[in-house]
């Protein structure tokens, strides 16, 4: 636990690297926030320290906020579109409210709570100017309200807005307001490219992806499938059937059983060691990505 210290009008808090710092306004009260190194280790485990990450699994940014948690600490829009400074500050606010509890990785890393954890003292934290939309016309406020699930065969003004948005991004749609075969093909392509479940309906994530997601007319999906969440020894995970065959291609003795057994555990540890990350046998976000982009 870090020793409590007096924080004057302006202190510094961790940001992108363990040694980088971001200003947060304080009010002269003695606190004992986590160290920059603790925050850096957390970000590496949660997102490989990627503030802009959006894999389509419902968690966003360096601290892998879901939308409801992000909104609970005053966030607007999507976490991964906010500045690094804002993400850092809202992560600190969450820590002040709930300690390390929201982050699975904190337990895996053995991070300890200190005097600030669960204190509820957040009024001294200034997250800055809010989420950045990343360019003209891309702010969350520009997105029409989600109208509810749209199915094949449906028609309406809301669907027309979605079609015209996709048309502006190069999709072969004309904005008829009718969900036909061409719209279904675009929905599938958009879902694939953003790591979403291919459902053939325009659900909430697919609606927002038209404005905030990736889209290429070439149709090439993301090289790395969306990370499904932390996986540990002794459990079945359907998404292991994606990771295990990929490791098999690299020479691992796996067959895609979806069970995290001794062979999978050994493979996880081996790929972690080969890539110089912590060898803990946990299939976290970083280890998942290494199946496609790492050494073995």
CB 7, CB 29: distance < 8 Å: yes
CA atoms of 102 and 87, how far apart (whole Å): 15
| Residue 182 binned pLDDT confidence (cut-offs 50, 70, 90) | very high
pLDDT at 111: 93
Q: Which domains does the chain have, with CATH numbers?
A: 5-109 (1.10.530.10), 143-212 (1.10.101.10), 240-293 (no CATH)
Smallest CA-to-CA distance from 92 within 69, 62, 122, 65 is with: 122
Rounded to 5 degrees, φ, ψ at 283 are -85, 85
Q: Between 285-293 and 262-274, two packed helices, what is the crossing angle to 10 degrees?
A: 80
pLDDT at 29: 34
The mean pLDDT value for 219-225 works out to 59
Q: What is the Cα–Cα distance from 205 to 213, expressed in whole angstroms?
A: 9
pLDDT tens, residue by residue, 126-180: 887 543 333 323 333 368 888 889 999 999 999 999 999 898 888 899 889 999 9
Q: What distance separates the 2 farthest-apart alpha carbons in the chain?
A: 64
Cβ count within 10 A of residue 174: 11
Hey, is 24 helix, strand or coil? Answer: strand
The answer to whether 167 and 29 are in contact (CB under 8 A) is no
């Amino acid at each position: 636990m870090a020793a409590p210290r007096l924080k004057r009008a302006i202190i510094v808090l961790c940001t992108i690297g363990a040694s980088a710092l971001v200003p947060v306004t304080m009010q002269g009260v003695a606190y004992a926030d986590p160290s920059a190194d603790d925050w850096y280790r957390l970000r590496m485990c949660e997102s490989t320290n990627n503030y802009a990450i959006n894999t389509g699994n419902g968690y966003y940014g360096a601290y892998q906020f879901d939308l409801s948690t992000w909104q609970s600490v005053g966030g607007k829009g999507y976490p991964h579109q906010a500045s690094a400074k804002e993400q850092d500050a809202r992560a600190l606010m969450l820590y002040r409210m709930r300690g390390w509890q929201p982050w699975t990785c904190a337990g895996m890393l053995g991070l300890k709570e200190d005097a600030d954890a669960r204190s509820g003292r957040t009024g001294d934290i200034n997250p800055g100017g809010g989420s950045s939309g990343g360019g003209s016309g891309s702010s969350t406020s520009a997105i029409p309200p989600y109208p509810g699930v749209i199915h094949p065969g449906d028609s309406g003004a809301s669907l027309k807005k979605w079609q015209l948005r996709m048309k502006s991004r190069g999709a072969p749609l004309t904005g008829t307001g009718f969900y036909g075969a061409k719209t279904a093909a675009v929905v599938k392509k958009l879902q694939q490219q953003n790591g979403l479940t291919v459902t053939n309906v325009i659900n909430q994530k697919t609606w927002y992806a038209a404005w905030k997601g990736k889209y290429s007319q070439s149709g090439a999906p993301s090289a790395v499938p969306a990370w499904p969440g932390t996986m540990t020894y002794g459990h079945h995970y359907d998404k292991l059937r994606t990771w295990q065959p990929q490791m098999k291609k690299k020479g691992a003795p796996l067959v895609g059983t979806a069970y995290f057994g001794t062979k999978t555990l050994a493979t996880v540890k081996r790929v972690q060691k080969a890539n110089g990350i912590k060898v803990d046998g946990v299939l976290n976000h970083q280890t998942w990505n290494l199946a496609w982009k790492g050494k073995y």
